[in-house]
Every structure is written in structure tokens, then in C-alpha cells.
């Protein structure tokens, strides 16, 4: 049975997240721009917390070789994402922004610099496991293709942000939560330490997303477009992340979050 609430799903219950894109114009325009931006932030954060909630899984240890192969695939996927979502998407944002947004363009360029370092981290750990990134030969899982397509279809830097700095990058904070999250139980300490270190770069990236969202949320149409962009991306992303958690040795005990 689905219980309606929006912050944290009690054990065994499905988290329902609001579909802001279906709201009426009047409802979408309730609250100022900051308020709307925070709604998008919290939706991604709630979804990430539920996806990575350790209480939502039981550990199912895998055969060591199967685990190694799955971890290698996972790290290649992460390296691909650091490259595409981390460098190609912010580069597109820079080109889409008007000339008077120089400071924001500069911050996005710094983000690209950080993301290249993140890519290098996964490359290093792949080598530790006897593998390589091989970006050109990486077979993208179907869900990742969908996520990439959603992002490529975005027409403004702000909508890209709703599917990037204000979606996946918010969810990273749930992933690195050692206390409540499942992820630290699925990977070795060396990898977890480096993933945690990557996470230190995320607050400025999320702040880039915040400022991009705030540039484009003055009308019902703009807010609906941002909401829709984030919904499409998060709906696919949660499927991918949950599948990855399972493939690293666990079983999900409750359904994934659902858009209400």
C-alpha cells in the first residue's frame, strides 16, 4: 500500500515524490523563485535519500569474480558519467548562457576542471581492479541512454541544470552518507574514501545549478519546464542507481520512489 508523504518513506513504504510539472499555473507560482528552487532541490534529495537508504536493502554477498566484474562495469559507468554529465553538459551550459553571465560561465568552467579529476579517480580504481575505462567501447545501459537523451533534448542552460547539477549531483550526497546510506557497505574503503573526496567538490556544482534554476523560474511555463526536465531525469536515474546497488550485492526490500 502506498502512503502519501514526501520526506522519508517509513520502512517498507513507497516514497511518493510530487510531480510539479502536473501542477496548475497558480499552484506552480505559489512562493517566490527561491521557494521553487528549494522545492526542486528537496525533491532530488528526498529521492536520493530513499534510493540509498541502507534500511531499504539487505546485503546478498556475491561470488567474488561476479562482484569484481559488476564493480568494474559500475566504475566504467561512473567514469563515463563524469565525462559526459560532468564536462559535456556544463560546456553546453556555457555556450547557451548569454554574454552577461560571465561569472557563472567561469564557475561552470571550474566545474569541468573538477569533473576531469573525478574521471581520473575512477580510472585509477579501474586500474587497481585490473581494468580500464575504454570510453569508446563502453556499452551504455539502456537507462543511461535515456538519461543522456533527456539531457541532450534540453534547450536552455537552466533546464540542463534541472537534469544535472540539480538532479544527479544532489543525489551524490545521499550516496556518500556513511551513516544512513547503503553504498559504503558495497565497496572497499579505498574506493569509498575517494568517492567521498569527490563529493567535497559537489557543493559549488550544486550552487551552479541553484543559480541556473533561479535565472529561469519567473513564469509558470519556465517552472513547468524545469520541473518536467528534473522529473524525466530523476525517474530514469533512480532506476539505474537502484540496479547498480543491487548488482554490487544487495536486494531492495521496498519499491522505488514513485512520482505522484
- Report the interface residues with Fe ion, using CB under 5 A: 82, 86, 115, 118, 169, 205
Closest to Fe ion by CB, 86 or 257: 86
The three grid cell numbers given for residue 96, joined into one nine-digit string: 547557451
Closer to Fe ion at the Cβ: 89 or 156?
89
**56/157 with CB nearer Fe ion:** 157
Task: Give the nearer residue to Fe ion in terms of CB position, either 29 or 88.
Answer: 88
* Shortest reach from residue 25's CB to Fe ion, in Å: 33
CB of 257 to Fe ion, least distance (A): 22
Name which of 81 and 232 has its Cβ closer to Fe ion.
81
Closest distance of CB 231 from Fe ion, Å:
21
Say if CB 163 and CB 232 are below 8 A apart. yes
Ordered DSSP codes for the chain: -----SS-PPTTPPPEE--GGGS-HHHHTSS-HHHHHHHHHHHHHHHHHHHHBGGGEEE-PPPHHHHHHHHHHHHHHHHHHHHIIIIIHHHHHHHHS-TT-HHHHHHHHHHHHHHHHHHHHHHHHHHHTT----GGG----HHHHHHHHHHHT--SHHHHHHTTTTTHHHHHHHHT-TTTBSGGGTS-HHHHHHHHHHHTTHHHHHHHHHHHHHTT-SSHHHHHHHHHHHHHHHHHHHHHHHHHHHHTTEEE-SPPPEE-
Minimum CB separation from Fe ion for residue 18, in Å? 25
How far apart are CB 92 and Fe ion at their closest, in Å? 15
- Minimum Å gap between C-beta 156 and Fe ion is 20
Closest to Fe ion by CB, 46 or 115? 115
Amino acid at each position: 500500500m502506498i502512503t502519501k508523504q514526501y520526506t522519508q518513506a517509513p520502512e517498507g513504504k513507497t516514497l511518493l515524490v510530487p510531480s510539479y510539472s502536473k501542477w496548475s499555473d497558480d499552484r506552480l507560482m505559489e512562493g517566490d523563485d527561491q521557494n521553487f528552487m528549494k522545492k526542486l532541490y528537496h525533491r532530488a534529495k528526498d529521492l536520493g535519500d530513499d534510493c540509498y537508504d541502507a534500511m531499504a536493502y539487505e546485503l546478498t554477498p556475491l561470488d567474488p569474480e561476479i562482484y569484481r566484474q559488476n564493480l568494474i562495469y559500475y566504475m566504467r559507468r561512473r567514469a563515463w558519467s563524469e565525462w559526459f554529465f560532468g564536462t559535456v553538459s556544463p560546456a553546453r551550459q556555457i555556450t547557451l548562457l548569454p554574454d552577461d553571465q560571465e561569472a557563472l560561465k567561469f564557475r561552470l568552467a571550474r566545474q569541468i576542471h573538477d569533473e576531469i579529476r573525478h574521471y581520473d579517480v575512477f580510472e585509477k580504481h579501474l586500474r587497481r581492479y585490473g581494468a580500464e575505462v575504454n570510453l569508446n567501447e563502453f556499452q551504455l545501459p539502456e537507462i543511461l541512454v535515456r538519461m543522456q537523451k533527456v539531457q541532450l533534448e534540453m534547450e536552455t542552460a537552466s533546464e540542463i541544470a534541472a537534469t544535472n547539477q540539480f538532479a544527479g549531483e544532489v543525489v551524490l550526497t545521499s550516496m556518500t552518507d556513511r551513516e544512513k546510506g547503503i553504498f559504503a557497505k558495497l565497496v572497499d574503503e579505498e574506493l569509498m574514501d575517494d568517492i567521498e573526496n569527490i563529493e567535497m567538490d559537489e557543493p559549488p556544482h550544486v550552487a551552479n545549478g541553484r543559480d541556473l534554476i533561479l535565472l529561469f523560474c519567473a513564469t509558470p511555463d519556465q517552472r513547468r519546464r524545469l520541473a518536467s526536465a528534473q522529473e524525466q531525469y530523476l525517474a530514469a536515474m533512480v532506476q539505474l542507481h537502484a540496479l547498480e546497488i543491487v548488482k554490487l550485492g544487495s536486494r531492495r526490500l521496498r519499491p522505488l520512489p514513485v512520482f505522484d
